[in-house]
């Protein structure tokens, strides 16, 4: 993970823990969302090696 990616990850985790909204620009439009999950999800049938 690059330092910039780590900075974004830290901000997302802090927002989730604090139940805060975040704003970001996507497709030339600003979006406001409430993040609730950060990371990877695996299928029940997928192995975790």
User: Is there a domain that residue 41 lies in?
Assistant: no
pLDDT digits (tens, 9 = 90+) for 4-49: 999 999 999 999 999 999 999 999 999 999 999 988 766 666 665 5
Domain count, the chain: 1
User: Is there a domain that residue 12 lies in?
Assistant: yes
Full domain range(s) for residue 23: 3-33
| Alpha-carbon torsion, ordered 5, 48, 35, 6, to 10 deg | -10
User: Is there a domain that residue 42 lies in?
Assistant: no
Q: Which residue has the tokens 């990877």?
A: 40
Tokens of 17: 């823990």
pTM over 0.75? The answer is no
User: Is there a domain that residue 7 lies in?
Assistant: yes
User: Is there a domain that residue 8 lies in?
Assistant: yes
User: Is there a domain that residue 47 lies in?
Assistant: no
User: Is there a domain that residue 45 lies in?
Assistant: no
User: Is there a domain that residue 38 lies in?
Assistant: no
């Amino acid at each position: 993970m690059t330092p910039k990616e780590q900075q974004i990850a830290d901000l997302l985790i802090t927002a989730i823990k604090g139940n805060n909204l975040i704003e970001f620009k996507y497709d030339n439009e600003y979006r406001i969302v409430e993040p609730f999950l950060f990371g990877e999800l695996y299928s029940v049938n997928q192995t975790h090696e």
